[in-house]
């Protein structure tokens, strides 16, 4: 018993903890992430059942994807100012996000050579503007054109600076 005469109860579960995309490991954390970033209503039991079903279907169809992919769908929806009435609708929006190039790993014809060239570029690039452009470009063709432009303009300068 506390001093006031009331029994002490355990602290309530905190829903205020801010979740980053890297922290999302299951459906309930994804629902919280979507609520924090998109403002979707808190998920009910029915919403959680539908979210689990839709996410399981998504992961069965795209086994190489994880919760981070679905978190990028949420961030794409935030950037495009799309709002959903239920959290499970964000999983269904992956088609739109893929169409706009926000989740390139769903592309069957993903150009891994370009992605490797971008990774190599990011290891030696020091300019924040170039790094942001290399990371943030969404379309596959734009990524290829940008890395070619970087290799022509920036790479020789950076390699020359390293030699000196």
pTM here is 0.58
11-46 burial, b if ≥16 CB within 10 A, otherwise e? eeeeeeeebebeebeebeebbbbbbbbbebeebeee
Q: What is the pLDDT along the chain (164 residues), one digit of tens a residue?
A: 455 555 554 444 455 678 888 889 999 999 999 999 999 999 999 999 999 999 999 999 888 888 989 999 999 999 999 999 999 999 999 989 988 888 877 766 567 788 888 888 888 888 888 888 887 777 778 888 999 999 999 888 888 888 77
* Helical spans, DSSP H, in 7-124: 27-38, 45-61, 67-79, 88-92, 94-99, 112-124
Residue with tokens 């109860």: 9
């Amino acid at each position: 018993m506390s001093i006031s005469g009331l029994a002490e109860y355990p602290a309530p579960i905190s829903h205020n903890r801010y979740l980053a995309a890297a922290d999302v490991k299951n459906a309930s954390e994804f629902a919280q992430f979507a609520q924090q970033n998109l403002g979707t209503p808190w998920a009910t039991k029915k919403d959680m059942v539908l979210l689990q079903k839709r996410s399981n279907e998504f992961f069965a169809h795209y086994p190489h994807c994880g919760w981070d992919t679905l978190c990028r769908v949420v961030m794409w929806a935030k950037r495009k100012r799309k709002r959903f009435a239920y959290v499970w609708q964000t999983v269904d929006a992956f088609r739109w996000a893929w169409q706009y190039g926000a989740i390139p790993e769903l592309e069957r014809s993903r150009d891994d050579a370009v992605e490797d060239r971008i990774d190599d570029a990011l290891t030696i690039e020091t300019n924040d503007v170039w790094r942001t452009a290399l990371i943030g470009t969404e379309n596959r063709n734009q990524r290829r054109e940008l890395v070619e432009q970087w290799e022509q303009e920036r790479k020789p300068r950076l390699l020359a600076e390293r030699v000196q």
